[in-house]
Amino acid sequence: MAVNLATLRSNVELALAGRVAAPFAYRDRHAVETVSTGIAEIDSLAGGLPRGALTEIFGPACSGRTTLLLSALAARTAHAEACALIDGCDAFDPHSAEAAGVELKQLLWVRCRNIEQTLRATDLLLQGGGFGFIALDLGDMRADMLRHVPLESWFRFRRAVEDTPTVLMVLEPESNAKTCASLVLRMEVEPARWSTTLETHPPDFFRYPPSWLLEGFGIRAELLRSRMQPIAANSFQKPFASAGRSQLFETNVLRSCLKVERSVARMEPAPSESKNCRGTYCCC
């Protein structure tokens, strides 16, 4: 019996040679290195972005997905890491990214036109390796189309990024990766803040619409899933918070133009468990 088990183990190791290193070796999946998102509230909530795992960010339009993406890209390119953005709908604006602090020389921009090209490009980049951060932006695609992405694709992405130093971030209008994602954040937009140019505050918003200016609005991030704990020696944050918690960060709008700045200006604790920060905002 022992001889048969040894032979079986040898055959499995031989079949997986070159694809899986030490398939029978125990690996502690709860220990993982994390990196900063560039937004203090998100780092405090989730503990950062885990390397070697799939992170899913989802929410409706104008819920802060792109703000989080540009902030994470700016943080990674500032550390001279090679980054890749797989743009599912060719909607990426390099001028806004540069204004947000992204070093475009460190960024590979893959422009796709349909879901098939997007999934194929993601496979190629994950298998090729060499990237510290890979973002898959599906936020502008139809939700019903993304629901038909085979679950095996998400499992393949998760398996390809395991045991690598790569951060894989997926942005979607709704959650589709299911259990393949090690970290899941839901983004929601809070009510907008308005100011008026009139000396007296008019009670009716629609009576004097040109006199109202958009000051900004809040974005709430909720932690839905976190299955790992960061490595204390290599991580900048404390262990991940429990699922179900949320953080609120507010954005201010520049009246001359809309753009993102990497720095977060002022921090104010809210009465509840959430925190507020004030910065400038770019797009959804």
- 230-266 pLDDT, tens per residue? 554 444 444 444 555 666 655 544 333 333 333 333 3
Neighbours of 150 (CB within 10 A): 9
Report how far apart, in Å, the C-alpha atoms of 146 and of each of 124, 130, 170, 205, 251 are.
20, 27, 12, 38, 29
The pLDDT assigned to 137 comes to 96
Question: Of 5-9, 66-70, 239-243, which range is least confident?
Answer: 239-243
Average pLDDT of the residues of the chain: 78
The pLDDT of residue 142 is above 70: yes
Instruction: Annotate 12-22 with b (16+ C-beta within 10 A) or e (fewer).
Output: eeeeeeeeeee
The pLDDT assigned to 239 comes to 44
Per the listing, tokens 């993982």 go with 32
Q: What is the mean pLDDT of residues 59-82?
A: 94
What pTM, to 2 d.p., does this model score? 0.70
Q: Is 220 helix (H, G, I), strand (E, B) or coil?
A: strand
Q: For residue range 159-202, what is the model confidence (pLDDT) as tens digits?
A: 999 989 999 999 999 999 988 999 999 999 888 777 776 666 55
The pLDDT of residue 117 is above 50: yes
| Top-level class of domain 25-280 | alpha beta
The pLDDT assigned to 176 comes to 94
The H or E element that residue 122 is part of is helix 115-128
The pLDDT assigned to 139 comes to 92
The pLDDT assigned to 65 comes to 93
The pLDDT assigned to 150 comes to 92
